[in-house]
Amino acid sequence: MFGTYLYRELSNRRKQTAIIAAGMALAIALVMIVNGVAAGVRDAQATVLASVYGVGTDITISQEPVQPAEGEEGAQQERPRFEFGAEDGETTDGTTALSQSRLTSGIASTTFDADALTTALSLDSVAAATATLALTNVSFSGEVAAPTTTDTGETAPGEGAQQGGRGGPDGAGGSAFNVDTFTVTGIDVAGESVGPLTSVELVDGRAFESSDSDTNVVILDTSYATTSSLTVGDSLEIGGEEFEVIGTVTSTSADATTASNTYIPLDTAQRVADLENQISTVYVQAASSTDIAAVQTALQTELPDAWVKTQEDLASSVSGSLSTASDLVGKLGTWLSIIVLAAAFLISVLLTTSGVARRTREFGTLKAIGWSNGAVVRQVAGESLVQGAIGGVVGVAIGLLGILAINIAAPVLSASAAATAVAGQGAGGGGNRFGDAATTAAATTDIALQIPVTFSIIGIAVALAILGGLIAGAFGGWRAARLRPAEALRSVA
Amino acid sequence: MYELSELTKKYETKRGPISALNKVSLSIPTGQMVAIQGPTGGGKSTLLQMLGALERPTSGTVTLGGEELSAMPDSRLAEIRARTIGFVFQGFNLIPTLTAQENVETALAPLGLSNSDRRLRARAALEKVGLGERLTHHPAELSGGQQQRVAIARALVKEPKVLLADEPTGNLDEQTRDEIMELLEGLWRDEGLTLIIVTHDSAVAKRAERRLHLKHGSVTEKK
């Protein structure tokens, strides 16, 4: 009887059923799309972050920059300084060619003691951890006019070649300089389960081996290798020392570049940069996703001066239109969903309760012929539930179509994370004093937004539809339960 | 069957309490056909609601088959209405979205019968009131007399001991009225029902074994 009555009511009161179901369907579809877009944005952020921090990194540890005390040079000391003696360079035709290379952690970077890695590895819930040292190599090369000796015995620049002209690259005593910078990341050659190299794949040559420890070998980002015309077997000067190129890598994600232009063994990087036992970032993988918060807390306790960030914290470092989309979904989308959902629920409740009021005689009669309160409430609630379910099914269909349309359109979002991240391995922002063109170029990436269709999104939609039906049914049922059968008789007497 | 003792029912209104029934004492034996007459507002419908376990008295008692209705919880009253009492209303009170057969089946829903049993009994009840050919018709597709027959079938399908009819012919023409009354009388006679009819129509009342007059909440026997 319940099913027959329910079917007859819904099919004969199509207008009301359609209004309730349509309202619910729109709300459900919107919630699905907003949730889907949020998931898509999260995936995109994870992709961007993975390209910087590597796949599987749950937590990163870095060091908060410390403001130098008054009178100290502080970060100024980290800035590469090029000093040339009178005898440096080769002088030809009144022009002296000078060249120097410095490997430095950069002005905004902060390094810290490598014991932090030991601390991280000592925690029970840590599955893996590795340390890196993020550096910037700055090469200065140029030509200046060779100095000459005057009658008074003083040396005057630009007059080196007495025979005609005043020297220098322009022949008039002028100078010309080139400054080249690229990023260098010191990597633990033994540990690859976590860290930046987990999100790259080898294109040419070979990866690091344990025997590469403390040797002058370098792996290049393919984009950097191409623009610098370097291949496996070539040599590259880093921090004034020659390094052999043993391999090239590319990003496994949608990014065009990897997190760094070059990768060298960690101990080599520490030696060349004169930063013995210093690191800039520790990458930590928790034993399980449920342990992340506990590991973060434990690390923060053990390392009070360190920045201990989870992927969730790091998502805020992603900028660009991806970040805008994330904000939009997080704020406007969520509120819009809540408002539409509340409106749909309200419409459903109002129509259901007004329907009960309209059917006073009907329910009163049913009670008069022996229907219990519970049976009447079940009938009203059942009708609401089915209306909600119809809205849910239609809403899921509309939501899936909306998601399909977005996935076909695949709106491209730009994201910048590497620039922040590379600097962030030491500290936020900056890079080096010369401006970090190479790093910035490597940082910006375009990601086509793809919304994942998951059971959880569909499950949430269906659950909300059922919840809407239950809420409307509860109100309608409550009103029906309060109805006294005598009132029905009185209304027809 | 029914024993009413000092039955009083008062309603609270904005203008103060109104006494619908005033210390009514009455005995209705099993199988009797009773007609209740009286002016509008005299308390006829209130009395019928008391007899039908739809309303609780302000004071006094109503006993049905030895059980005091006024002391029972709502769930027990619903059970008594489901098994013992049948109702027929002036406006038929059929559910417009259900067919004739489904309307009759609603009276069997509280009894927990199987689907097939329910359908079988509903069909038989409709055949008994002469609507065997109208099982799948909706109320809107039936005449007033046919709708009242469906309502009577709904009231009798559960085989009640009491049939309470509130102006059952009030909305019908004379010919249909007579047909419905003949049907009710026949069922009363055949089923051994206690039949209580509230009516304004003296022609209907005259068919009853016993006539009661209700005015200002007080009952008098009418010869």
pTM for the full model? 0.60
Q: Quick check: B54 and A486 CB within 8 A?
A: yes
pLDDT digits (tens, 9 = 90+) for A345-384: 888 888 888 888 888 888 888 999 889 888 988 998 898 8
Q: Are residues B122 and B209 in the same domain?
A: no
- Residue B147: which pLDDT band, with cuts at 50, 70 and 90? very high
Of A392 and A162, the one with more pLDDT: A392
**pLDDT above 90: residue B140:** yes
The values of phi and psi at residue A25, to 5°, are: -60, -45
- Residue A122: which pLDDT band, with cuts at 50, 70 and 90? confident
Q: Are residues B65 and B97 in the same domain?
A: no
**pLDDT above 80: residue A127:** yes
With H, G, I as helix, E, B as strand and everything else as coil, classify residue B80.
helix
Q: Pick the last residue of a domain from B156, B189, B212.
A: B156
pLDDT at A436: 36
Side chain identity at A136, as an amino acid letter? Answer: T
> Are residues B164 and B45 in contact, defined by beta-carbon separation less than 8 angstroms?
no
| B145: containing domain | 92-156
Find the Cα–Cα–Cα–Cα dihedral A146, A147, A150, A153, rounded to 10°.
-140
**pLDDT above 90: residue A247:** yes
> Are residues A28 and A391 in contact, defined by beta-carbon separation less than 8 angstroms?
yes
For the segment A175-199, the average pLDDT, to the nearest whole number, is 80
Taking CA–CA distances from A376, the nearest residue in chain B reads: B110
Mean pLDDT of chain B: 89
Q: Are residues B75 and B111 in the same domain?
A: no
Task: Measure A369 CA to nearest chain B CA, in Å.
Answer: 6
Task: Kindly provide the residue ranges of all beta strands, DSSP E only, lying in A105-175, ordered along the sequence.
Answer: 112-113, 126-145, 147-149, 155-157
With H, G, I as helix, E, B as strand and everything else as coil, classify residue A440.
helix
Burial of B198 (0-12, 13-18, 19+ CB in 10 A): buried
Dihedral of alpha carbons B211, B215, B217, B218, sign: negative
Q: Are residues B2 and B96 in the same domain?
A: no
Of A5, A373, A489, Cβ closest to residue B98? A5
Q: Pick the last residue of a domain from B108, B129, B156.
A: B156
Q: Which of A67-76, A186-195, A219-228, B167-176 has the highest mean pLDDT?
A: A219-228
Whole-number Cα distances in Å, B212 to A7, A374, B27, B90, B221 = 44, 37, 11, 19, 5
Whether residue A360 lies within 8 A of chain B, CB to CB, comes out as no
- CA pair distance B100, B137, nearest whole angstrom: 6
For the segment A276-287, the average pLDDT, to the nearest whole number, is 86
pLDDT at A337: 75
- CA pair distance B222, B153, nearest whole angstrom: 30
Q: For chain A, percent helix, then strand, then coil, each to nearest 5?
A: 50, 25, 30
Query: According to DSSP H, which parts of chain B are helical?
Result: 44-51, 74-83, 100-106, 115-128, 144-156, 174-191, 202-205
Q: Are residues B119 and B138 in the same domain?
A: yes
> What is the number of structural domains in chain B?
2
pLDDT at A177: 80
Q: Quick check: B106 and A369 CB within 8 A?
A: yes
Which residues of chain B lie closer than 8 angstroms to A372, CB-CB?
A: 75, 78, 110
| Long-range interactions of A234-240: CB distance < 8 A, separation 24+ | A236/A262, A237/A101, A237/A139, A238/A101, A238/A103, A238/A137, A238/A184, A238/A262, A238/A264, A238/A272, A239/A101, A239/A102, A239/A103, A239/A137, A239/A272, A239/A273, A240/A100, A240/A101, A240/A102, A240/A103, A240/A272
Q: Are residues B118 and B191 in the same domain?
A: no
> Are residues A380 and A477 in contact, defined by beta-carbon separation less than 8 angstroms?
yes
Q: Pick the last residue of a domain from B137, B156, B175.
A: B156
Q: Are residues B78 and B186 in the same domain?
A: yes
Q: Are residues B147 and B184 in the same domain?
A: no
Of B66 and A440, the one with more pLDDT: B66
> Are residues A134 and A103 in contact, defined by beta-carbon separation less than 8 angstroms?
no
Whole-number Cα distances in Å, B52 to B46, B56, B82 = 10, 10, 11
Q: Are residues B77 and B18 in the same domain?
A: yes
Pairing of strands B59-64, B2-13: antiparallel
Whether residue B134 lies within 8 A of chain A, CB to CB, comes out as no
Among A84, A207, A108, A116, smallest CA distance to A423 is for A108
With H, G, I as helix, E, B as strand and everything else as coil, classify residue A234.
coil
Task: Measure B221 CA to nearest chain A CA, in Å.
Answer: 23
Give the ipTM of the model, two decimals please.
Answer: 0.91
- CA pair distance A317, A281, nearest whole angstrom: 16
Query: Which CATH number do you get for residue B11?
Result: 3.40.50.300
**pLDDT above 80: residue B94:** yes
What tokens appear for A51 in the block?
A: 């390209």
SS (H, E, C) A279-321: ECEEEEEECCHHHHHHHHHHHHHHCCCEEEEEHHHHHHHCECH
Q: Are residues B69 and B107 in the same domain?
A: no
- Residue A292 CB partners (closer than 8 Å, separation 6+): A58, A59, A286, A310
- CA pair distance B223, B208, nearest whole angstrom: 11
Burial of A459 (0-12, 13-18, 19+ CB in 10 A): exposed
Whether residue A375 lies within 8 A of chain B, CB to CB, comes out as yes
Whether residue A482 lies within 8 A of chain B, CB to CB, comes out as no
pLDDT digits (tens, 9 = 90+) for A64-80: 766 666 655 544 445 66
Dihedral class, residue A195 (left if φ above 0, else alpha if ψ from -120 to 50, else beta):
left
- Residue A419: which pLDDT band, with cuts at 50, 70 and 90? very low
- Residue A274: which pLDDT band, with cuts at 50, 70 and 90? confident
Q: Are residues B171 and B104 in the same domain?
A: no
Of A199 and B86, the one with more pLDDT: B86
Q: Are residues B3 and B79 in the same domain?
A: yes
> Are residues A144 and A95 in contact, defined by beta-carbon separation less than 8 angstroms?
yes
Whole-number Cα distances in Å, A464 to A33, A451, A453, B28 = 14, 20, 17, 56
Q: Which of A89-93, A440-444, B46-50 has the highest mean pLDDT?
A: B46-50
Whole-number Cα distances in Å, A66 to A74, A75, A297 = 8, 9, 22
Whether residue A378 lies within 8 A of chain B, CB to CB, comes out as no
pLDDT at A72: 54
Which residues of chain A lie closer than 8 angstroms to B155, CB-CB?
A: 369
Q: How many CB pairs under 8 A join A and B?
A: 96
